[in-house]
């Protein structure tokens, strides 16, 4: 199928991905898991999860192979690669225009909503990031890589967690400090908020702002929005594209609320994205930003390191 693994598409902590072709002529991506696949648990998770999912914004599993120590997952090939290539301008990819960015954001939100509320069982994804959003030939996004996903009953509001890998920068606060709140589908909502911020390039915009370059970037966004100032995002005009940037920013701020209870569900996220930006309210100033300067600086430094970590890095967390 891969002609002896001739064309390598990518590599990660899970193993490597190769391009292949079925006898029918369809192109596929063959994900060959490495030997350190947590005793095969990631492999089992992906089959158990993706095997029951049928949604336009979730990658479709074509088949799998389990022969002795070899484990492989086979998906339809996505010619436009992953979203991170465009968000972080890797491989000097052509930038996405604002209409396309917004379309991708909405469709990713629909995919996450389906995982949370559209299946006969609730699926918590736990790894929303640009690297795991694949784009087909028409730039329709597909959520992929379900190795960390967790299945739970639809009537269960919280889940218990054992040690698991997570990607620095997209980790919800309650996964680091359990006193912040219970672990639930709101973990995915938080990660989606960070994804929105990266798509809008807000962290890069702050880095260019020399006088405030050390400020934790959600604080900077709050300051600008609450002062009635526009956030200048790349080459955005003052009309529809400016509204898209502002809408995605406000929705992102709701998604990254510290307390999970204050974050919206993905149903509400979609309502906000698809509604009129004039009807969107900016969330209340977070409690940690109202503290004295010394405490706020301490929190901001910790948050900055956890939000601005290497986007390809992973951390392992257990019960706290």
Residue 246: pLDDT above 90? no
Instruction: Say whether both 54 and 167 belong to one domain.
Output: no
Instruction: Say whether both 291 and 224 belong to one domain.
Output: yes
Average pLDDT over residues 274-280: 90
| 203-222 tens-digit pLDDT | 555 445 544 544 555 666 66
d(CA 80, CA 294): 46
CB 317 within 8 A of CB 166: yes
Instruction: Say whether both 210 and 271 belong to one domain.
Output: yes
Final residue belonging to a domain, choices 31, 47, 76: 76
Tokens of 28: 């596929």
| 157-209 tens-digit pLDDT | 667 665 555 667 788 888 888 888 888 999 999 999 999 989 987 655 544 55
DSSP string covering 115-182: IIIISSSEEE----SGGGEEE-TT--EEE---TT-EEE-TT-------SEEEETTS--HHHH-GGG--
Final residue belonging to a domain, choices 76, 104, 124: 76
The reply to whether 222 falls in a domain is yes
The reply to whether 2 falls in a domain is no
Domain carrying residue 63: 8-76
Instruction: Say whether both 96 and 139 belong to one domain.
Output: yes
Catalytic sites, residue numbers: 127
Residue 218: per-residue pLDDT: 62
pTM of the model: 0.81
Instruction: Say whether both 239 and 291 belong to one domain.
Output: yes
* Number of domain units in the chain: 2
Instruction: Say whether both 98 and 144 belong to one domain.
Output: yes
For 288, phi then psi, to 5°, come to -70, -15
Instruction: Say whether both 68 and 108 belong to one domain.
Output: no
| 24-74 tens-digit pLDDT | 999 999 998 876 545 577 788 778 788 778 899 999 889 998 888 788 999
Cβ neighbors of 203 (< 8 A, separation 6 or more) are: 197, 217, 307, 308
Residue 319: per-residue pLDDT: 33
Q: How far is CA 10 from CA 29, 125, 172, 309, in A?
A: 10, 21, 27, 21
Average pLDDT over residues 9-16: 79
d(CA 66, CA 80): 28
Residue 302: pLDDT above 50? no
């Amino acid at each position: 199928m891969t002609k002896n693994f001739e064309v390598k598409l990518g590599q990660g902590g899970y193993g490597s991905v190769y391009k292949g072709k079925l006898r029918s002529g369809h192109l596929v991506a063959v994900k060959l898991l490495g030997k350190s696949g947590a005793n095969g648990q990631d492999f089992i998770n992906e089959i158990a999860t993706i095997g029951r999912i049928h949604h336009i914004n979730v990658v479709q599993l074509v088949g799998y192979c389990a022969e002795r120590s070899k484990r492989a997952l086979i998906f339809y090939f996505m010619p436009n690669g992953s979203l991170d290539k465009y968000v972080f301008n890797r491989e000097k990819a052509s930038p996405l225009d604002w209409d396309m960015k917004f379309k991708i954001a909405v469709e990713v939100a629909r995919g996450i909503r389906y995982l949370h509320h559209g299946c006969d069982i609730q699926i918590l994804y736990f790894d929303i990031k640009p690297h795991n959003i694949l784009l087909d030939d028409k730039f329709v996004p597909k959520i992929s890589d379900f190795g960390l996903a967790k299945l739970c009953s639809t009537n269960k509001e919280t889940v218990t967690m054992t040690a698991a890998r997570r990607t620095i920068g997209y980790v919800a606060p309650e996964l680091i400090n359990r006193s912040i709140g219970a672990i639930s589908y709101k973990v995915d909502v938080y990660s989606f908020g960070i994804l929105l911020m990266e798509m809008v390039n807000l962290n890069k915009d702050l880095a260019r702002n020399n006088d405030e370059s050390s400020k934790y970037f959600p604080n900077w966004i709050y300051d600008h929005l609450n002062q009635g100032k526009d956030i200048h995002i790349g080459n955005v005009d003052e009309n529809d594209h400016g509204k898209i940037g502002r809408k995605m920013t406000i929705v992102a701020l709701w998604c990254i609320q510290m307390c999970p209870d204050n974050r919206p569900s993905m149903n509400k996220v979609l309502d906000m994205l698809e509604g009129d930006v004039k009807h969107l309210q900016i969330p209340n100033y977070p409690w940690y930003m109202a503290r004295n300067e010394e405490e706020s600086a301490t929190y901001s430094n910790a948050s900055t390191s956890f939000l601005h970590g290497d986007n390809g890095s992973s951390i392992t967390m257990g019960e706290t």
